């Protein structure tokens, strides 16, 4: 019975999280866990991209309903809202985080504006390569001027 309880508890506890470091990053998150603006990561690969189902009414912007079927999986595990008024920073399919052999890695998914890991470009022409992702690393989505910055934190040591 102890193994069953431990398995259930582990299914609720994320292995890692992305913590927004800027106001823009906080506003990009559409789902909220426990009143905290964090992105929990429980399953891998974990795909991040831009929400493209935006609509507008007299009440303001809203996200349109996404219909899921059993055989069709979404392109992303989290959809972020790109609030940049001048140009898009977040691509529809931006980056992916993997967890293999007790090691985390990140790879840009051929995004338009790129991805930076600790201010080092890992996107654009480097999109084919996976990069080691460590506890405390900073992920920046988009151009050098982008404000979409998140800190990667490991919660569950393997």
| Residue 47 belongs to domain spanning | 15-154
Q: Is residue 40 part of a domain?
A: yes
Q: Is residue 128 part of a domain?
A: yes
Please state the rounded mean pLDDT for residues 134-152. 96
Q: Is residue 107 part of a domain?
A: yes
Tell me the CATH number at 135: 2.60.200.20
- What's the pTM value of the predicted model, to 2 decimals? 0.84
Q: Is residue 10 part of a domain?
A: no
Spatial neighbors of 14 by CB under 8 A, at least 6 apart, are 40, 41, 42, 155, 156
d(CA 52, CA 74): 12
The residue ranking higher by pLDDT, 60 or 2, is 2
Q: Is residue 8 part of a domain?
A: no
Q: Is residue 4 part of a domain?
A: no
Q: Is residue 5 part of a domain?
A: no
Largest CA distance in the chain: 56
Number of domains in the chain: 1
Q: Is residue 90 part of a domain?
A: yes
pLDDT band at 58 (very low <50, low <70, confident <90, very high): low
Predicted confidence (pLDDT) at residue 78 exceeds the cutoff of 70 = yes
Q: What pLDDT shows up at residue 65?
A: 47
DSSP summary character for residue 33: B
Residues in the chain: 158
């Amino acid at each position: 019975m102890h193994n069953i309880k431990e398995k259930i508890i582990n299914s609720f506890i994320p292995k890692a999280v992305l913590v927004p470091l800027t106001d823009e990053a906080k506003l990009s998150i559409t789902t909220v866990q426990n009143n905290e603006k964090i992105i929990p990561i429980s399953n891998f690969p974990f795909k991040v991209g831009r929400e493209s189902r935006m609509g507008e009414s007299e009440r303001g912007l809203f996200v349109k309903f996404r219909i899921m079927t059993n055989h069709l999986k979404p392109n992303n595990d989290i959809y972020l809202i790109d609030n940049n008024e001048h140009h898009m920073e977040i691509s529809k399919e931006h980056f992916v985080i993997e967890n293999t052999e007790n090691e985390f890695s990140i790879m840009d998914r051929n995004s338009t504006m790129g991805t930076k890991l600790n201010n080092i470009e890992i996107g654009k022409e480097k999109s084919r390569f996976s990069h080691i992702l460590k506890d405390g690393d900073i992920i920046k989505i988009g151009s050098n001027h982008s404000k979409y910055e998140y800190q990667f934190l490991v919660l569950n040591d393997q």
